[in-house]
Each structure stands twice: as structure tokens, then as C-alpha cells.
Amino acid sequence: MSDQTTDATDIDDGKVAFELASPEALLLSIRADMVVVPGAEGDFGVLPGHTPFISALRPGVIDVHRDNAVDERIFVADGFAEVNKAGCTVLSSEAYPLDELDKADVEERKRDAEEQLAAAADDDERAEAETEIAICDAMLVALG
């Protein structure tokens, strides 16, 4: 991911502040022209001055637009997005730059989850395995 970080949520430069965080750390803090996020109800774009709201996320890719092009693509497995006038903050337990995902590794991860699903002893184990399979499927779609 980009190493360009700013802590400038009050800057009025026609950009949207975007932050991506995991439970462990702030992964990315940048200013962008627009950010497109995979919301639970569908993708949504965030521009400067966006109406505030909160959305759950589905597994998918965040597209960060800068200089009239998609500058970064980041896969998120889950989480929430908070949008306000200053920008967008995404909280996710898993986030990977799309170009760092390996299709063979994802396919292996999916096979492991399918084995866990077949061996599941209860509803909680089944739900966990099904969630993992859905994340892997979304990764494979994102990888093409």
C-alpha cells in the first residue's frame, strides 16, 4: 500500500481523506479524489463533502482514485465504513493490496475452508467455514 500518509482531515483541497485500519494498526491514511467501497448493500463512492453514514462491508475491493485513475486496489474481507464530510474510515479484520494476493494461495485457503465445512461439528463451525469460503470466492473474483 502507499506510504503517503497525512493527518489532515480539515484540509479543503478537493480531496477525500481515506483511512484503512485493522484491529492492530492504521494501515493506510491518504487523500484521494474518490474512494469506492464494497458496501453490504452494494458499492458506494465517497467524494469530498459526502453525506455522513455508516455501512457494513462485504468481501470485495476498495478502489482508491487519484489523478483520474484507480491508484490503489485493496481487498477487504469484512468490516465497516464510516463516511463523514471529511472522508471515509474503513475498519476491517483483513485487508490486502490486491497485487499482493496470490491466486494459488487463495485457492488453497478455500480448499482448507471447504474441508473445515465438511468436518464442521456444529452451526458455529459451519458458519465460520462458510464465511471463509465467501471471502476466498470474493478474492478469486477480484483476482480475475
Distance between CA atoms of residues 114 and 3, nearest Å? 36
Sheet holding 16-21, edge to edge: 26-32, 16-21, 87-91, 80-84, 53-56
**pTM confidence score:** 0.85
For residue range 78-116, list pLDDT tens digits in order. 999 999 988 999 999 999 999 999 999 999 999 999 999
Amino acid at 97: P
Please determine, for residue 30, whether its predicted confidence score (pLDDT) is greater than 70. Answer: yes
**Model confidence band, residue 12 (pLDDT cutoffs 50, 70, 90):** low
Average pLDDT over residues 116-141: 96
Distance between CA atoms of residues 103 and 85, nearest Å? 37
Other beta carbons less than 10 A from residue 22's beta carbon: 15
Identify the pLDDT of residue 24. Answer: 86
Amino acid at 57: L
Please determine, for residue 66, whether its predicted confidence score (pLDDT) is greater than 80. Answer: yes
Identify the pLDDT of residue 85. Answer: 85
Are 78 and 93 spatial neighbours (Cβ–Cβ below 8 Å)?
yes
Q: Give the total residue count for the chain.
A: 144
Burial of 56 (0-12, 13-18, 19+ CB in 10 A): exposed
